[in-house]
Structure 1
Amino acid sequence: MNPVAFTPEELQQLKASFKYVESNSKQAADIFYGHLFDIAPDLKPLFAHTDMRDQRQKFFSALRVIIGSIQQPHLLVPAMTQLGKRHAKYGVRPEMFQKVGGALMMTLEEVLGELWTAEVEEAWIRTYTYLADIAAATLAPEGH
Structure 2
Amino acid sequence: MLSRNKIELVKHSYKAVTAVRPELYEDFYTRLFVTAPDIRALFPGTARAQAVKLEAMMQLALSSLDTPEMLTPLLRKLGHDHATYGVEEKHYIVLGEVLLDTLAAQAGDLWTAEVSAAWFAVVNFIAATMIDGARAMAA
Match for residue 137 of structure 1 among 129, 132, 137? 132
Q: Which runs of 4+ in 1 moved over 6 A?
A: none
Change (3 A) 1:37 1:52: closer
Change (3 A) 1:22 1:37: same
Instruction: Report which stretch shifted further, 23-32 or 103-112.
Output: 23-32
Match of 1:118 in 2: 113
Structure 2 residues not aligned, in runs of 5+: none
TM-score if structure 2 supplies the norm length? 0.90
- Conserved 8 A contact 1:36-1:100: yes
* Distance in structure 2 (CA, Å) of the matches to 1:24 and 1:91: 34
TM-score if structure 1 supplies the norm length? 0.87
Percent identical among aligned pairs is 30
* Distance in structure 1 (CA, Å) of the matches to 2:35 and 2:131: 19
User: By how many angstroms is 1:56 displaced?
Assistant: 1.1
Match for residue 79 of structure 1 among 74, 79, 87? 74
Match of 2:8 in 1: 12
Greater helix fraction, Structure 1 or Structure 2 = 2
- 1:24-66: per-residue Cα shift (whole Å, max 9, x none)? 454211221122112211101112x313322111111111011
* Distance in structure 2 (CA, Å) of the matches to 1:109 and 1:92: 25
User: By how many angstroms is 1:77 displaced?
Assistant: 0.1
Q: RMSD of the TM alignment (CA)?
A: 1.6
**One-letter amino acid matched to 1:52:** A
Change (3 A) 1:55 1:118: same
* Distance in structure 2 (CA, Å) of the matches to 1:37 and 1:52: 9
* Distance in structure 2 (CA, Å) of the matches to 1:60 and 1:23: 13
Match of 1:40 in 2: 36
